[in-house]
């Protein structure tokens, strides 16, 4: 498995959790649990992806802007999560915020998979594509454990 396959696995979970969050209703345990799954997945993925995909890409001139853009979008999603957490889950404002987060997540993943991965595939060596996978998974798993 290479780094792109590893990242796509998490992307699939993010899409699943983001879709599930907006199907929840009110201040319920289901909404809280589903949102926590999404948040844990996003936080773990962002941290590991930045360290073991985007930072290595910054070693290349053509990878700097791409990496900065992606990391900036991670920051935007973090801010959206902070806004959601500051909003009462039973408030009518909660669901529109969750939908905005879902749209941002889907936009970001689409951009990564259809634009960034192609560019990164040209910059990273075959060896890097494979060697980055293990540290990505280790960091990702460690972050998930911290969130639990």
Domain holding 33: CATH number? 1.20.120.520
DSSP state for residue 53 in the 8-state scheme? I
Considering the entire predicted model, what is its pTM? 0.95
pLDDT band at 63 (very low <50, low <70, confident <90, very high): very high
Tell me the pLDDT of the chain averaged across its residues: 97
Q: Is the pLDDT of residue 25 over 80?
A: yes
Model confidence over 31-58: pLDDT tens digits? Answer: 999 999 999 999 999 999 999 999 999 9
DSSP state of 89: T
User: pLDDT band at 147, cuts 50/70/90?
Assistant: confident
For 67-87, the three-class secondary structure string (H helix, E strand, C coil) is HHHHHHHHHHHHHHHHHHHCC
Number of domains in the chain: 1
Residue 115 has pLDDT above 90, yes or no: yes
Instruction: Please list the alpha-helical segments (H only) found in 86-125.
Output: 94-111, 117-123
Contact partners, residue 34, CB within 8 Å, separation at least 6: 17, 20, 21, 24
Domain that holds residue 19: 3-147
Q: Which two tokens stand for residue 44?
A: 């773990």
| Secondary structure (3-state) at 1 | coil
């Amino acid at each position: 498995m290479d780094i792109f396959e590893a990242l796509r696995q998490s992307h699939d979970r993010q899409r699943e959790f983001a879709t599930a969050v907006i199907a929840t209703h009110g201040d319920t345990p289901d909404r809280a649990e589903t949102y926590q799954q999404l948040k844990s997945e996003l936080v773990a993925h962002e941290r590991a992806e930045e360290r073991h995909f985007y930072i290595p890409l910054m070693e290349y001139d053509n990878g700097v802007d791409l990496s900065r853009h992606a990391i900036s979008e991670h920051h935007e999603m973090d801010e959206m999560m902070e806004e959601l957490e500051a909003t009462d889950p039973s408030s009518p404002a909660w669901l529109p915020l969750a939908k905005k987060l879902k749209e941002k997540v889907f936009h970001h993943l689409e951009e990564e998979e259809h634009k960034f991965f192609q560019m990164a595939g040209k910059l990273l060596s075959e060896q890097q594509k494979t060697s980055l996978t293990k540290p990505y998974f280790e960091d990702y798993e460690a972050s998930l454990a911290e969130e639990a």
